[in-house]
Amino acid sequence: MTGKQGKVRVAVVFGGRSAEHAISCVSAGSVIAALDPERYEVVRVGITPDGRWVLADPDQRLAIDGGALPEVAGGTAVSLVGDPAGRGLAVLEAGSAIGPALTEVDVVFPVMHGAYGEDGTIQGLLEMAGLPYVGSGVFASAASMDKEFTKKLLASAGLPQGDHVVLRDALGAVCPDPELLDEAARDRLGLPVFVKPARAGSSIGITKVTDWARFPEAVATAAAVDQKVIVEASVPGREIECGVLAPVGPGLPEASLPAEIRLRPGVDWYDFDAKYLDDSVDFDVPADLTPEQTALVQETARRAYLALDCRGLARVDFFLGTAADGSDHLVINEVNTMPGFTPISMFPRMWAATGVDYPELVDRLVATALASAGRAPR
């Protein structure tokens, strides 16, 4: 290992150019706190909102404080070395010349959410640099980030999802004309519908539409985040989530105990504020499910993980309802290849309920990344 006294040197990368910059910072703060300093040497790599890479100050605030969201500001400028022989980061001197000192790292933990982080872009960069990293590879990251192609791959594996329509050039299509969907599509989807950016997360840019007259405005809101917009029919049912982890060695992925998100009276849906800023939802960890329902959710989560060729970890989100014949009806909402790691995030909480606490979870993810690259930790 390259760290001091044989420690594993972990580069925790966070921030970035996406709308989920602040949530990435919060997740990274939790991951860093969980990495045992006796075993790991942490290199904090922040990416500013305009895309500059910096060695972040250890005192950088990585938490939501009184509603104020964190942001990567400044630090020592660094650049990822594209040559695999470099194995890490080059420190940039004044004038952007590459300095003589290289910061070698053993593994990268890209705690990145959204575009330029969770969508296969940073994964491709790390592949080129020859650096092991936590999480799914280029293809699975890109496919899971794009809700259209997530649905196509899940459908090809026979996995259930809700009805939807894709608007491919939504930004160009936005106009006062409400006929962005034809009458047949509207009749099929019904109301309400959820209008979403196809490639975003944390409920950013999403609108619940209960009146077709508000539909163009909702499309414009989503298209401001991503020009491809997806319109989803509302799926009745309980909101259930399940975590999936790869084994460190050979074997099939493991599923956590599921959890349930319950909206309090008066809360319409699980939006950004409900997720991160206010106290408007309750979480049941684990969810109050029958053994048969738990097994159904876990098996479907594992199947979704494999269908998308995920690696390391994923969180699969569901709606659980009742079919016409009275049987359980499970629909996949989406798959997250780098779920939130904030103190209130469901992924670590579900694994804690399953018997894997936060530090052990982070250890396991790092060990899996190193093992997949043939670099087992000491």
What is the tens place of the pLDDT at every residue in 196-247?
A: 999 876 578 899 999 999 999 999 999 988 889 999 999 999 999 999 999 8
Distance between CA atoms of 353 and 288, rounded to whole angstroms? 13
pLDDT of res. 177: 43
**Predicted local distance difference test score (pLDDT) of residue 94:** 59
pLDDT value, residue 279: 65
Identity at 345, one-letter amino acid code: S
DSSP string, 242-272: EEEE--SSSS--EEPPPEEEEEPTT--S--H
Report the residue count for the chain. 378
Angle, nearest 10°, between helix axes 291-307 and 147-156? 110
Among 25, 23, 19, residue whose Cα is nearest residue 221: 19
Question: Is the confidence at residue 306, as pLDDT, over 90?
Answer: yes
Q: Residue type at 115?
A: A
The pair of structure tokens assigned to 150 is 């997530």
At 34, is the pLDDT very low, low, confident or very high (cuts 50, 70, 90)?
Answer: very high
Output phi, psi for 348, to 5 deg: -65, -30
**pLDDT per position as a tens digit, 35-63:** 999 999 999 999 999 999 999 888 888 98
Higher-pLDDT residue of 282, 142: 142
Given a cut of 90, whether residue 366 has pLDDT beyond it is yes
Measured between alpha carbons, how far is residue 285 from residues 218, 348, 360 in Å?
33, 11, 18
Q: How far apart are CA 304 and CA 291, in angstroms?
A: 20
75-80, strands of its sheet edge to edge: 98-104, 88-92, 75-80, 53-56, 40-47, 8-15, 107-110
Kind and range of the H or E element at 101? strand 98-104
Question: Rg (Cα) of the chain, in Å, rounded?
Answer: 21
Q: Is the dihedral of CA 8, 73, 200, 27 positive or negative?
A: positive
Is residue 100 scored above 50 in pLDDT?
A: no
Q: Is 21 helix (H, G, I), strand (E, B) or coil?
A: helix
**Which domains are seen in the chain, by residue range?**
4-135 (3.40.50.20), 143-161+235-337 (3.30.470.20), 164-233 (3.30.1490.20)
CA pair distance 278, 323, nearest whole angstrom: 33
